[in-house]
Amino acid sequence: MAEKLSEERRRVVLDLLAAGHNPMEVARRSGVSKSYIYRLHHSLGGVYRPAGVTYSERYLDRDERYELARLIDAGVSQAEIGRRLGRSASTISRELSRNRDRRTGEYQPERAHTLAWQRQRRPKVSKLGGNAVLRAVVQQMLDERYSPDEVAGRLRLLNGDDPDNEAMRISHESIYQSLFVYPRGELRRELKACLRRGQVTRRRRGSKSETRGKIPGAVSIHDRPEDVETRLIPGHHEGDLIKGSLASNSAVGTIVERTTGYLTLLHLPHGYTADRVADAVVEQMTALPDWFTKTLTWDRGSEMAKHAHITEQTGINVYFADPYHPWQRGTNENTNGLIREYLPKGTDLSHHTAADLQAIANQLNDRPRKRHGYHTPSEMLANLLLQDLHSVATTP
C-alpha cells in the first residue's frame, strides 16, 4: 500500500471497521483515504482482529516475563520461579532457552516478549494446509456447496466424540480464515471457488424490498395456527417464486417445510401465471403424505391469486406474509439463497427441466442443517415417515 499509517491510526481504522461502519464512513471519521481503507478491508478479507489479541494463555505475558527476570537476578532457581508464577519448571526452562540473548546469556524481558510475539505472529501452516486428508474432505463438502459452518458441523456429527478423531475436526472460523485471512495460493483458490456466495471478503447480510400485489381473499399470516410458529408439528410450509431474467419471464417455485427444511421445487416452464402456479403446487403437494401438508405461507405475489383452488384440491390452508416482511418466511428466504447457487439471478430459468430441478432439490435435501444437529432434511423426513409407519402398525 502506498499510504503509510502509524500503528495508532491503523488501529483506529480497524476498530471502526470492526464496529460495523462501512469504509466510506470510516474514511470520514478517521481522516484516512477511502482507497486505503478499501485496500486494507480486502487485504484482511473483511475480518478484523481486536487490538492486543493474544494467542493462548499457555504463553507467558509481559508481566510474567518481568517477574521472571527479577527472580533470575535474585538467584532463584527455575523450579522455584515456576512455583511462584504458577508455571511448570519446563515452561520456565523453555522460555529462557528460547529468549535469552545468545551472546551475553542475559534475559531481557522486553526483548523476550517482542521475540515471542513475533514468533506467534509468523505465518504458520493452517490445519487445512497441514492435513491433506482433512483438506480433501472439506474440499469435497465445499464442492457439494456446504457452507463452512455446515462443513464443521457435519464433521463433528460424522466423527462423534472420539478424541482420536480430533484431526478430522475443524471449526468454521478456521475454514473462513483459510479462505479470507491467510491466503495460501492454490489452497485458497480451490476452496473459495466452491464457497456458497463466492465473495472475496466476509460481508454482512442485508435485505431488499419488493413490490407486493393484492391477493383476493388473502388470509393474513397473523391468522395462522399458533403451532406453526413452534416448528414442533410437521406439515407447515413456506413458499415463494425465484425469478429469472426479465427477458425470459421465467421462474421456479420453492416450497420448504418448516420443521424438517425439506424442499420441493415447482417446474414452471411456460410462465408463472396464477393458474400455472396453482396447478404446480397441487401436483407437488398431493404427492406428499396428508399429515405433511397442513398449511402454506406464501409471499404476497399475484402468482398466488388462485390460492382458493389450492385449498380446494389439497386441503392445504394458504396464508400470506405481510408486505415487505420476508423474515416472516425465514426458512424459505434462507433456502432461496441456497437455490440461487444453482439458479443464478438474471438467467433464463425455463432452460431447466423438471429432472434438473429435482436433482437440485435432492442435493439441498441431502445438505446438513445446523438446527438439526447437522442431520439433513431428507434424514429428518425419513425419521418422520418411520414414526408414521410405526404408529399405523401399532394402532389397533
Q: What confidence score (pLDDT) does residue 2 get?
A: 45
The answer to whether residues 164 and 238 belong to one domain is no
Rama region for 298: left / alpha / beta (φ>0; ψ in -120 to 50; rest) = beta
CATH of the domain at 35: 1.10.10
As a residue count, the chain comes to 396
Query: What is the residue type of 343?
Result: L
Last residue of a domain, one of 153, 178, 193: 193
Terminal Cα-to-Cα distance of the chain (whole angstroms): 78
Q: Does any domain span residue 172?
A: yes
Q: Does any domain span residue 47?
A: yes
The answer to whether residues 237 and 107 belong to one domain is no
Q: Nine-digit cell at 385?
A: 415417515
Q: What confidence score (pLDDT) does residue 276 get?
A: 95
CA 234 to each of CA 68, 227, 312, 314, 370: distance values in angstroms, whole numbers, following the listed order: 63, 10, 21, 16, 18
Q: Nine-digit cell at 240?
A: 415463494
The answer to whether residues 9 and 98 belong to one domain is no
The answer to whether residues 157 and 11 belong to one domain is no
The answer to whether residues 238 and 364 belong to one domain is yes
Q: Does any domain span residue 259?
A: yes
Q: What confidence score (pLDDT) does residue 183 get?
A: 47
Q: Does any domain span residue 316?
A: yes
The answer to whether residues 314 and 173 belong to one domain is no
Residue 79 domain boundaries: 62-121
pLDDT 10s digits, 163-175: 567 788 888 877 8
Q: Read out DSSP for 377-389?
A: HHHHHHHHHHHHH
C-alpha closest to that of 313 among 288, 289, 278: 278
Residues of the chain short of pLDDT 50, as ranges, are: 1-2, 182-187, 205-212
Last residue of a domain, one of 97, 121, 145: 121
The answer to whether residues 113 and 139 belong to one domain is no
C-alpha span between 67 and 79 (Å, rounded): 14
DSSP label at 171?
Answer: -
Q: What confidence score (pLDDT) does residue 37 get?
A: 84
Q: What confidence score (pLDDT) does residue 158 get?
A: 84
Number of domains in the chain: 4
Q: Does any domain span residue 210?
A: no
The answer to whether residues 165 and 303 belong to one domain is no
The answer to whether residues 2 and 91 belong to one domain is no
**Maximum alpha-carbon separation in the chain:** 92
The answer to whether residues 289 and 356 belong to one domain is yes
The answer to whether residues 344 and 310 belong to one domain is yes
Q: Does any domain span residue 201?
A: no
CATH of the domain at 362: 3.30.420.10
pTM of the predicted model as reported, rounded to 2 decimal places: 0.53
Contact 361, 246 (CB under 8 A): no
Q: Does any domain span residue 213?
A: no
Residue 182 CB coordination number (10 Å) = 17
The answer to whether residues 78 and 131 belong to one domain is no
Q: Does any domain span residue 396?
A: no
